[in-house]
Amino acid sequence: MTNLPSSARKAALVFGGSRGIGAATARRLAHEGYAVALTYASRTDKAAEVVGSIEADGGVAIALQADSSDANAIATAMDAVERLGPLHVAVVNAGIYEGSPLEQFPLDMLDRMLAINVRGVFLAVQAAASRMADGGSIITIGSNTAVRSGVVGSSVYAMTKAAVATLVRELALDLAPRKITINNIQPGPIGTDITAGFLDHLVEGNPLKRVGRPDEVAALAAFLSGAEARYITGASLTLDGGYSI
């Protein structure tokens, strides 16, 4: 990779790109030749690590602090992205998981997950589409819980991810006249520094007897953003080793 002048570069934006799946996706898109902007909520150190690793490989990257539920913060981030080059790919990865059985489910937890996992996804997609070049790609990172959770206390999280799948399916119609594709990746259990040791109990119930890797999700995101996937839009693709079967 080389540091091309901004006039010759295409930009990619990864919402929630400082850790886990988002970080792997930012690195993969940089490897594909995009100048990458990534947003983060609070972990400046982790965001800097991702930017540093991309730059060490000869790529171009910037980190932008932005609350995914804040429309003004997202708009400010979009202004910064455009300095990298025309936006061609946006990956909406920001999200949170909190769980509780129905009887004890706090309303503030419900409000947080709706604000970030649904409202925040809509705001990010809306902002990206308004700045994106025709023919671009938008990818959301949902969850296989939209299909099947199997875990007590995950009902609201699963609801938010099912909402994302529906949103993507319907927005494909809005974006089709501009030849912008939008698709949703639904990962199952993925091993990251956040989930280390937490997912071990799910391995037995997985047909492939393992958890996934962030780079496997990133590879699918890279495919969906590429030329070979231009006939795929409005789809939700489950990546979970058969866990949802």
- Please indicate whether residue 97 is annotated as part of the active site: no
Strands (E), the chain: 11-15, 35-40, 61-65, 87-92, 132-141, 181-187, 236-239
Mean pLDDT for the chain overall: 91
Interval 106-135 mean pLDDT: 94
| 91, 141 contact by CB (below 8 A) | yes
145/85 Cα distance (integer angstroms): 35
pLDDT in tens, 121-164: 999 999 999 999 999 999 999 999 999 887 888 899 999 999 99
49/29 Cα distance (integer angstroms): 16
Supply the pLDDT for residue 1: 44
Of the chain, the percentage scoring pLDDT greater than 90 comes to 73
Supply the pLDDT for residue 92: 97
pLDDT in tens, 174-192: 999 999 999 999 999 898 8
pLDDT in tens, 1-21: 445 445 457 999 999 999 999
Residue 170 clears pLDDT 50, i.e. is over it: yes
Domains parsed from the chain with CATH numbers? 6-237 (3.40.50.720)
| 42, 18 contact by CB (below 8 A) | no
pLDDT in tens, 22-49: 999 999 999 999 999 999 988 899 999 9
User: Out of 34, 40, 97, 157, which one is annotated catalytic?
Assistant: 157
Supply the pLDDT for residue 2: 45
Interval 216-226 mean pLDDT: 98
- Between CA 28 and CA 22, with CA 220 as vertex, the angle to 5 degrees is 50
Q: Is 41 left (phi over 0), alpha (psi -120 to 50) or beta?
A: alpha
Interval 157-174 mean pLDDT: 97
176/76 Cα distance (integer angstroms): 26
Supply the pLDDT for residue 159: 95
